[in-house]
Amino acid sequence: MRKGKTNKRPRSAMTLWVVLIVVFMAELLVYSWCRVQYVHTGYEITEARQEGQVLIALQDKLKVEEAHLRSPERIRGIAEKRGLRIPDPRRVFVMP
């Protein structure tokens, strides 16, 4: 009978160690996956910030271009090339 009792203890101890090692490895894998995701997300944030800065610079350029296109001098020049002119104030009638 003694042999049976001593055989069970080392086997249960071995099983416990295997379970602990498996749990430790699983935790290590989950931690590693979390770190990889953290770094990946950091790269995505950096790329998004850079893209945002590029878009802000483009927006500023487009605002300058819009201001140039809306300038009264430019519009007056285009109108004069087409033969248009400012009407005589005596010929302007305001409609109610």
* pLDDT range class, residue 3, cuts 50, 70, 90: low
Condensed to tens digits (0 to 9), the pLDDT of residues 72-91 reads: 999 999 999 999 988 888 88
In a domain, 96, yes or no: no
Inside any domain, residue 94: no
Per the domain annotation, does 61 fall within a domain? yes
Number of domains in the chain: 1
What is the extent of the structural domain holding 30?
2-82
pLDDT at 11: 86
Compute the Cα dihedral for 27, 32, 36, 38 and give only its sign. positive
Whether residue 14 is contained in a domain is answered as yes
The tally of CA atoms less than 13 A away on the side-chain side of residue 11 is 6
Give pTM, 2 decimals: 0.58
Instruction: Calculate the alpha carbon distances from 29 to 18, 35, 70 in Å.
Output: 16, 10, 60
pLDDT in the model for residue 59: 98
Report the mean per-residue pLDDT for the chain: 91
Is residue 22 in some structural domain?
Answer: yes
Question: Quick check: 6 pLDDT over 80?
Answer: no
What does the alpha-carbon distance between residue 71 and residue 64 come to, in Å, rounded to a whole number?
11
